[in-house]
Structure formats: C-alpha cells, structure tokens
C-alpha cells in the first residue's frame, strides 16, 4: 500500500537518512522507534513528502509521489550515456551498473545523459505519478504539536480539508457534500465524546482533546494509512492515556498506521511490526516480540536497556 | 522670553491663527489626508510586494528586495526631494502639485516598510499550521488563504496601526514642499509673527494629541480583536 524505496535525506551536509526501504501493508500497524535524532521522524515526514527525499522513491498504492530515482531502475541506468561510455571502455554491463549505483555517477541534469535516458525517465514518471496533494490525502498525518488550525473552530478543523477536496474535484452538489461532511464530523466528535466542543476554538482545549481532534481530523479524510509523528510526546502525562486509547481503537478497527513513538509499551501492544531506526538506517525490524524480547542489534539492545 | 510669555504667545497664536484663520483644521486635514493616502497605497503596494517576494521567479524577488533595501536605507527627506524633481518628469506632467509627488513618494516609502511588516507577520504564523494543511492534501494556495493569512492578519494589523502613526509624524517632512500640512503652518505663521518657539510648542501639542489618541484607539481595537479570537 505504502512503500518507500531507498530513501536518502540530507540536510546540507547532515545525512539524516542513508538508504531506508520499507513497505506498509493494508491493515498493518507499524511502530518506528529509535533515539532522538536517529531520523525516525524524518522518515515519517518523507513518506508524505513534508520532507522531499534527496534520493529514493515513495509509492502510495502503486503510484509514484516523488520524482523518479534513476538508481532504482536498471533499465534507466542502462539507457544513460555514462553507462554507454563505461561499457565501451570495456566494462561488463552488470559491473557498469554496479559502479554507477555505488559511485553515484549519473549526472544530475537529465539532459546530460542523452535523449534515451531522458525519454525513459519521463515515460516512467508520467506512467506512475500521482499528484502530491492527492497522494497526501491518502495518508493523513497527526503531529506532535497537534497543529489544529487556530483560526478555525473544532468542527471547521475537521470539515475544511474534505470540503476543499470536494472543491478541487469540482463537485457540483456542494450543499449536500457540506451536509454529509458536517454530519460525519459530528459523529466522529461524538465517538470521542467531544461533540459539545464542535464550536469551540482550539485555544480553549486541553492537549489531550486537541490531539484526539487532530486524529479525527485526519480520519475524516478517509485515509488509507495514518501517519503519527510522536503523537503523545507533547502531552501532559495524565492525557497520554486518552490519546493512546483512541489510537488503539483505530488499530483494532483495522486502520493502517505508521507510528513514530517513544511509548514502548504501546508499540509492543498494538504493533504488527517494529522498525528500529538508528543513524539513518533501519538497523532492525521485526515483530514486537522479536524486537523487545530478543533484540539482535547491539545498538537496539543498548537503546532498550535505557528506555524500558 | 519668560515661560509666561511663551504660554501667552502660544495661546494667542492658537486663537488667532489656528482657530481664527482655521489653520488647525486645514493643517490637520492635509496631514491626515496625506497619512491616509500613504498608508492606503502603502498597504496595497506593500502587500503586493510581500506576495511578490514569495515568488519562485527570482528576478522579481531580487527587484523587490533591492527596492525595499534602497527605500529603507536612504533618508525619507532625500526620497521626497528625488520624487519632487523626478516624478513630474516621468509622468510628463510638469505642473504636478507638490502634494501629489509627495504622496507618491511617501506611499512608496511606506510600502517598503509595510511589505516587511506583512512578511514578518506571515512568518510569525507557526509552521505547523501550514504543514498540517499540506499534510491533509490542501494546496499551498488554500493553506495560505484559509489558514496562514487569517492568522497573519492578527499579527499584521497592530503593526500597521503603528505604521500609520509613524507616517503621521513623517508627513512633517512634506512641509519642505509647502503642501499645507500641520508643519507647513509653522512656516506660514512664522512669516507673519516672526515667532518660533510658541508655534513649535503649539504644533507639538497637536501632533501629540493626534498620535496619542490614535494609538489609544488602536490599542482598544487590538484588545477587542484579541477577545474575539
């Protein structure tokens, strides 16, 4: 459903992600753990392109959100002038591909690699691409700092994106859509017991209430996958429970979720798979039992001994 | 001159020239008119410049930045002189009134400051607001119009009020070109009476009353706006 392929992310000279690949299947709950600065939040933000990966591709439901990464496609590498000149100098084709991948030899300007290369790149992109905004609607995100819209009421926070989306799609019956979107928002609010806050503004709410509303704001988009970026890290301790309960409820209902978290107990309880991200790599990945009971990687062992 | 003499003269001038000859009303009228024109066009132009500065078209960004830096980095009085001589040449209207060229120059000058006010007002809106909007699949344009700008206005309006007050004081420079504002009345009355300090003190009071009451009024509006937010 969601796939990241060989993601690199550099901030200037700082290499935050150094080749991360993983996939998220339908109904799967994945937790990403790791120390602060390990790149786990960056990985999550690369998934919906809030950060543009430096290299690598992001695929949502078989469609490409990022530009094409030529290094991921053998046939594109083989169409390049660099490849041609390596082969003509006597290198075997497979060695040439290896060398190009390893040493990052393709020229950044597509036009410098010849017409065939340019054409393949373009064809591949046109065939697979999805509009970034359209892709993002399939995977809404919940933030550490909630980020409810301060100038909108709770209800408007929830209905804004579905309504705007309908406008982008030139829906004709806006009135009916408005009614059904509002109705759905109210039923979601009811589900979390906050229907009486529908017309309140975010500044009047507690952190736990804000985050639960942020979650149903994401839910109102009917996303295929929900991304959570440390959703409880900014909460007072007594409010963490209500947010985790709601997330657990979603997980039990079969929602596909990717959760960056420091709540190890929660990760262990709800996840199908846990990724340990460290120094820009996925150092270890497995079921909660494998990760928490029987960690193999020494960095993971060290990390767990500190947080558990 | 004793203090009592100054006070007496201030009063006499106030009664004879400012009230009797109606110079107070025409002076305040021109000052406020010039300020209002300056702030009005300054805000429109400044907004356009702030928008233009966010453009992806780099030459436009460069031109606007250069314009802002030059206007903020040279004296306003110098700009008025330049405008006074150059604008009639550019517009090919030799008989352009000093008031018009002063108003144009001051609007441009104010636009430079307003564009910075708007830019920082937009920047002050938490980045998370835009991120949340984009993460929900809204376009950059929708995020700007529906989420960022409405919040930026709350930062911008008070600063614009201050700009208005600054402009009122700066219009005094326009008296160099005898446009009839409050400060011009100094030259006129001085010509009749050869007095200096009493007129200046009268003027100080007028300007202070204008700016002080305006700033109190703006403070009131600001508090009311905060209450509603």
Test B150 with A143 for CB contact under 8 angstroms. no
**Which of the two residues, A145 and B224, has the higher pLDDT score?**
A145
Give backbone dihedrals phi and psi of A141, rounded to 5 degrees, phi first.
-120, 145
What mean pLDDT do residues B189-212 have? 94
pLDDT at A99: 83
Test A140 with B136 for CB contact under 8 angstroms. yes
Contacts of A152 in chain B (CB under 8 A): 147
Q: What digits encode the pLDDT tens for the residues A29-53?
A: 999 999 988 999 999 999 999 999 9
Query: How many CA atoms does the CB half-sphere of B43 hold within 13 Å?
Result: 15
User: How close is the nearest chain A Cα to the Cα of B147, in Å?
Assistant: 7
Q: What digits encode the pLDDT tens for the residues A271-304?
A: 999 999 999 999 999 999 999 999 999 999 999 9
Choosing among B137, B138, B139, B154, which should be mutated to test the A contact, i.e. which has the most A CBs within 10 A?
B137
Choosing among A139, A143, A145, A149, which should be mutated to test the B contact, i.e. which has the most B CBs within 10 A?
A149
Rounded to the nearest 10°, the torsion over CA B66, B70, B72, B75 is -170
pLDDT at A98: 82
B150/B172 Cα distance (integer angstroms): 34
Angle between helices A93-103 and A81-88 (to 10 degrees): 130
Test B137 with A134 for CB contact under 8 angstroms. yes
Name B192's Cβ contacts closer than 8 Å, sequence gap at least 6. B17
pLDDT at B228: 59
Instruction: State which residue of chain A sits closest to B129, comparing Cα positions.
Output: A147
Contacts of B131 in chain A (CB under 8 A): 50, 143, 147
Contacts of A214 in chain B (CB under 8 A): 132
Contacts of B129 in chain A (CB under 8 A): 147, 149-150
Give the model's confidence band at A151: pLDDT under 50 very low, under 70 low, under 90 confident, else very high.
very high
3-class SS at A49?
Answer: coil
User: Which residue is listed with tokens 């209902």?
Assistant: A253
The answer, for B126 touching chain A at a CB cutoff of 8 Å, is yes
For the full predicted model, state whether its pTM sits above 0.90.
no
Bridge pairing between strands A273-278 and A281-286: antiparallel
Instruction: State which residue of chain A sits closest to B149, comparing Cα positions.
Output: A151
Rounded to the nearest 10°, the torsion over CA B170, B171, B174, B179 is -170
Query: How many CA atoms does the CB half-sphere of A257 hold within 13 Å?
Result: 29
Contacts of A165 in chain B (CB under 8 A): 137
Bridge pairing between strands A256-260 and A55-60: unpaired
- The range of the structural domain enclosing residue B62 comes to 3-228
| CATH number of B135's domain | 1.10.3720.10
How buried is residue A14: exposed, middle or buried, by Cβ count under 10 Å (0-12/13-18/19+)?
A: exposed
Q: What digits encode the pLDDT tens for the residues B46-65?
A: 999 998 998 889 999 999 99
Q: Is the pLDDT of residue A78 over 90?
A: no
Give the model's confidence band at A150: pLDDT under 50 very low, under 70 low, under 90 confident, else very high.
very high
Test A164 with B132 for CB contact under 8 angstroms. no
Test A150 with B151 for CB contact under 8 angstroms. yes
B40/B7 Cα distance (integer angstroms): 38
Give backbone dihedrals phi and psi of A15, rounded to 5 degrees, phi first.
-95, 105
The answer, for B136 touching chain A at a CB cutoff of 8 Å, is yes
How buried is residue A146: exposed, middle or buried, by Cβ count under 10 Å (0-12/13-18/19+)?
A: buried
- Buried/exposed code over A66-77 (b: 16+ C-beta within 10 A; e: otherwise): bebbbbeeeebb
A223/A95 Cα distance (integer angstroms): 43
B162/B151 Cα distance (integer angstroms): 19
Q: What digits encode the pLDDT tens for the residues A160-192?
A: 999 999 999 998 899 999 999 999 999 999 999
Instruction: State which residue of chain A sits closest to B153, comparing Cα positions.
Output: A151
User: How close is the nearest chain B Cα to the Cα of A12, in Å?
Assistant: 20
What is the number of other CB atoms lying within 10 angstroms of the CB of residue A18?
15
CB contact residues (below 8 A), chain B span 160-219, against chain A: none
Give the model's confidence band at B227: pLDDT under 50 very low, under 70 low, under 90 confident, else very high.
low
Count: domains in chain B: 1
Give the model's confidence band at B29: pLDDT under 50 very low, under 70 low, under 90 confident, else very high.
very high
> Contact at 8 Å (CB) between A64 and A307?
no
> Contact at 8 Å (CB) between A142 and A211?
yes
What mean pLDDT do residues A87-112 have? 81
A1/A22 Cα distance (integer angstroms): 11
**Considering chain B, what is the average pLDDT of its residues?**
91
Test A50 with B132 for CB contact under 8 angstroms. no
Helix, strand, coil distribution of chain B in percent, nearest 5: 85, 0, 15
């Amino acid at each position: 459903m969601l796939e990241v392929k060989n993601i690199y992310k550099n901030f200037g000279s700082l290499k935050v992600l150094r080749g991360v690949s993983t996939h998220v299947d339908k109904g799967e709950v994945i937790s990403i753990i790791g120390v602060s600065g390990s790149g786990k939040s960056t990985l999550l933000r690369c998934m919906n392109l809030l950060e543009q990966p430096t290299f690598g591709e992001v695929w949502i439901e078989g469609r490409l959100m990022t530009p094409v990464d030529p290094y991921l496609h053998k046939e594109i590498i083989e169409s390049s002038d660099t490849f041609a000149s390596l082969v003509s100098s006597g290198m075997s084709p497979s060695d040439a591909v290896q060398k190009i991948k390893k040493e990052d030899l393709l020229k950044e300007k597509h036009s410098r690699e010849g017409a065939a290369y340019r054409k393949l790149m373009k064809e591949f992109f046109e065939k697979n691409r999805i509009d970034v905004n359209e892709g993002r609607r399939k995977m809404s995100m919940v933030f550490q700092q909630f980020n409810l819209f301060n100038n909108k009421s709770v209800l408007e926070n929830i209905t804004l994106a579905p309504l705007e989306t309908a406008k982008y799609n030139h829906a004709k019956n806006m009135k009916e859509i408005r009614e059904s979107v509002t109705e759905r928002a109210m039923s979601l609010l009811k589900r979390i017991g906050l229907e009486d806050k529908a017309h309140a503004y975010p500044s009047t709410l507690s952190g736990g209430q804000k985050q639960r509303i942020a979650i149903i704001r994401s839910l109102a988009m009917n996303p295929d996958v929900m991304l959570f970026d440390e959703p409880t890290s900014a909460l007072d301790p007594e409010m963490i429970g209500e947010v985790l309960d709601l997330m657990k409820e979603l997980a039990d209902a079969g929602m596909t979720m990717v959760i960056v978290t420091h709540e190890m107990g929660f990760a262990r309880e709800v996840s199908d798979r846990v990724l340990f991200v460290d120094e820009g790599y996925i150092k270890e990945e497995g079921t909660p039992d494998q990760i928490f009971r029987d960690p193999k990687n020494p960095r993971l062992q060290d990390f767990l001994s500190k947080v558990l | 001159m004793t203090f009592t003499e100054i006070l007496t003269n201030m009063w006499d001038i106030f009664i004879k020239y400012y009230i009797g000859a109606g110079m107070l009303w025409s002076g305040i009228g021109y000052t406020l008119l010039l300020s209002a024109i300056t702030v009005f066009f300054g805000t429109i132009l400044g907004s356009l410049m702030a928008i233009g500065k966010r453009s992806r078209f780099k030459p436009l960004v460069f031109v606007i930045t250069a314009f802002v830096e030059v206007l903020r980095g040279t004296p306003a009085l110098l700009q008025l002189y330049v405008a006074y001589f150059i604008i009639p040449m550019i517009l090919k209207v030799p008989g352009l009134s000093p008031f018009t060229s002063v108003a144009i120059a001051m609007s441009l000058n104010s636009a430079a400051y307003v564009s910075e006010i708007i830019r920082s007002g937009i920047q002050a809106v938490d980045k998370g607001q835009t991120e949340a909007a984009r993460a929900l699949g809204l376009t950059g344009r929708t995020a700007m119009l529906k989420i960022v700008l409405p919040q930026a206005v709350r930062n911008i309006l008070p600063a614009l009020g201050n700009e208005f007050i600054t402009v009122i004081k700066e219009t005094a420079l326009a008296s160099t070109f005898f446009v009839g504002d409050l400060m011009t009345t100094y030259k006129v009355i001085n010509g009749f009476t050869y007095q200096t300090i009493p007129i200046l003190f009268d003027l100080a009071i007028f300007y202070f009353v204008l700016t002080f009451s305006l700033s109190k009024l703006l403070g009131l509006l600001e508090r009311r706006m905060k209450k509603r937010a």
